[in-house]
């Protein structure tokens, strides 16, 4: 018995992934291609165990309307889209034509190009223009940290009664404990504190990947 999450060495992560259904061959190819083309930016991609969790949560939520803020080469989008209920749609927001060209190829290969609607441009604008109807069942936020609070407010205003907002990087490699946080670290510290104090919601912060907050409406 233990009262704390185990630390994850590379070996233990490999074991965990070898004994999970996700990532499959297609997602492993996407990890590999992203590593090859963006060797200095691989940390932009979510951890594979986060991807499996996104699929599961989307499925458990019975989500039909999903939004992703920050798509990169499309990994998390595939994971969310695979969990959607039949007829469901995922709107993806990103401002990089280059990154999302890779994503589009993989979405096509995964048979998901009809399920995913990519909106290229500044996500602040895209998200603020999203309709309120149908409401959002599941949202995943993984873009510019400075935008997190605005994305959160816009998405919360559109969230269905049992919907969930999932926010990535909330532990920021542990830097949220810095004694004098600055830049994105300070932004994340502030964001986490505001969500924890927000009486409209309940939040569960999980130590998966770089930290995921699962945010639902209170009560």
Is residue 204 within 8 A of residue 41, CB to CB? The reply is no
Place of tokens 């070996």: 11
Stretches 38-46, 107-115, 151-159, 197-205: which one binds ligand SAM (CB under 6 A)? 38-46
- Measured at the CA of 90, the angle between CA 62 and CA 200, to 5 degrees, comes to 65
Selected binder of ligand SAM within 8, 16, 17, 44 (CB under 6 A) = 44
Stretches 89-97, 104-112, 181-189, 202-210: which one binds ligand SAM (CB under 6 A)? 89-97
Q: Is 166 helix (H, G, I), strand (E, B) or coil?
A: strand
- 185 makes contact with ligand SAM (CB under 6 A): no
- 71 makes contact with ligand SAM (CB under 6 A): yes
Stretches 40-48, 108-116, 129-137, 155-163: which one binds ligand SAM (CB under 6 A)? 40-48
Q: Which of 59, 64, 214 is nearest to 135 (CA)?
A: 64
Selected binder of ligand SAM within 144, 184, 198, 210 (CB under 6 A) = 144
Q: What are the structure tokens assigned to 143, written together?
A: 């873009």
Is residue 71 within 8 A of residue 93, CB to CB? The reply is yes
Ranges within 113-142 binding ligand SAM (CB under 6 A): 122-124, 142
Cα(166)–Cα(188) distance, rounded to whole angstroms?
Answer: 14
- Contacts with ligand SAM, residue ranges (CB under 6 A): 44-46, 70-73, 75-76, 93-96, 99, 122-124, 142-144, 147
């Amino acid at each position: 018995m233990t009262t704390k999450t185990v630390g994850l060495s590379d070996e233990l992560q490999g074991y965990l992934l070898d004994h999970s259904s996700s990532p499959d061959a297609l997602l492993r190819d996407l990890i590999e291609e992203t590593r090859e083309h963006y060797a200095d930016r691989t940390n932009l991609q979510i951890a594979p165990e986060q991807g499996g969790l996104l699929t599961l949560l989307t499925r458990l939520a019975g989500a039909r309307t999903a939004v992703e803020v920050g798509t990169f080469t499309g990994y998390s989008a595939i994971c969310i889209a695979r969990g959607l209920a039949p007829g469901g749609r995922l709107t993806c927001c990103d401002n990089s034509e280059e990154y999302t060209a890779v994503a589009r190829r993989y979405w096509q290969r995964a048979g998901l190009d009809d399920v995913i609607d990519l909106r290229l441009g500044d996500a602040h604008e895209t998200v603020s223009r999203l309709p309120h109807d149908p409401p959002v069942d599941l949202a995943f936020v993984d873009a510019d940290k400075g935008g997190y609070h605005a994305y959160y407010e816009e998405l919360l205003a559109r969230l269905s009664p049992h919907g969930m907002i999932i926010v990535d990087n909330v532990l920021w490699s542990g830097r949220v404990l810095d004694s004098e946080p600055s830049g994105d670290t300070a932004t994340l510290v502030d964001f986490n504190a505001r969500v924890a104090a927000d009486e409209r919601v309940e939040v569960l912060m999980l130590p998966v990947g770089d930290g995921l907050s699962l945010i639902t409406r209170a009560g």
